Amino acid sequence: MKKCDLIFIAIVVALFLPFFVCDSVYEWYKTFNSEHAIVMSFLKFAILSTIGEMIGMRISSGKYITKTFGLIPRMVIWGILGVCIGMAMKIFSSGVPVFLEAAGMVGATKVLGGELCFNKVLVAFAISVAMNSIFAPVFMTFHKITDTHILNCGGSIKALVTPIPFGKYISELNWKVQWGFVFKKTIPFFWYPAHTITFLLPQEMQVLFAALLGVALGVILAVAAIKGRK
């Protein structure tokens, strides 16, 4: 373990330790989270998912941050994506149970808010499959495009105000990796079960857990980057 790893771990511990050792800080978090859910979605993803990408960068390049990493633009983009993810979670967690009831499953909406049972797991899995099959591919592709844009802007904050040439980036995207690994493997084998767990949690914990999965996403993106170079 290198010095940079110890510094990174120390910063992460210092950032999150107060929430575990100080009751007043945790109570403030719960209150703010319930009153300002959209703001907290932005902050959770801006911080946690960026940390995940820094870990991914460490895996793929040996450094947590490079000159073109673009810490600030990444945090802003992740924050915006976090709001979109929070919105998608609410839409699919409300809509899929209604669809299941229309398809013949009795009490799908009610069972999702009840005690853990087989039907609750089944509903949570159905929500996860729907969200990750419909929303996730668009989200992942958009994220890849913004990631490329930040890189091409040299990691500068101007990436946030420079128009994104979507057509150019989409045509240059490595679809062999995007489809063959990111879509075809990570969605069914990781995101389906991971978000099934997410929708089994209490609502106030769901977005936080989804943001924590951003750490895993950073590792996945690092592996995808390595595969893309081969």
Residue 177: pLDDT over 90: no
Q: For the chain, what is the domain count?
A: 2
Which of the four pLDDT bands, split at 50, 70 and 90, describes residue 12? confident
Residue 209: pLDDT over 90: no
Residue entry with tokens 């009831």: 101
Same domain, 76 and 18: no
* Longest alpha-carbon distance in the chain: 58
* Greater model confidence, 95 or 17: 95
Same domain, 85 and 152: yes
Region 141-161: what's the mean pLDDT?
Answer: 93
Which of the four pLDDT bands, split at 50, 70 and 90, describes residue 172? very high
Same domain, 20 and 101: no
Distance (Å, whole) CA 46 – CA 51: 9
Same domain, 101 and 215: yes
Region 191-195: what's the mean pLDDT?
Answer: 94
Give 20: exposed, middle or buried? Use CB within 10 Å, 0-12, 13-18, 19+: exposed
Q: Cβ atoms within 10 A of the Cβ of 125, count?
A: 18
Same domain, 142 and 167: yes
Residue 230: pLDDT over 60: no
Same domain, 104 and 85: yes
Same domain, 72 and 156: yes
The answer to whether 185 and 142 are in contact (CB under 8 A) is no
Amino acid symbol at 60: S
Same domain, 12 and 57: no
Its sign, for the CA torsion 146, 152, 156, 160, is negative
pLDDT for the residue 218: 67
Mean of the per-residue pLDDT values for the chain? Answer: 88
Region 123-133: what's the mean pLDDT?
Answer: 97
Question: What's this model's pTM, rounded to 2 decimal places?
Answer: 0.86
Same domain, 138 and 211: yes
Same domain, 92 and 45: yes
Structure tokens at 91: 């839409």
Residue 48: pLDDT over 90: no
Same domain, 12 and 68: no
- Cα distances from 19 to residues 10, 13, 24, 85, 212, in angstroms, run 15, 10, 8, 24, 15
Domain that holds residue 220: 38-229
Q: Cβ atoms within 10 A of the Cβ of 154, count?
A: 11
Same domain, 88 and 117: yes
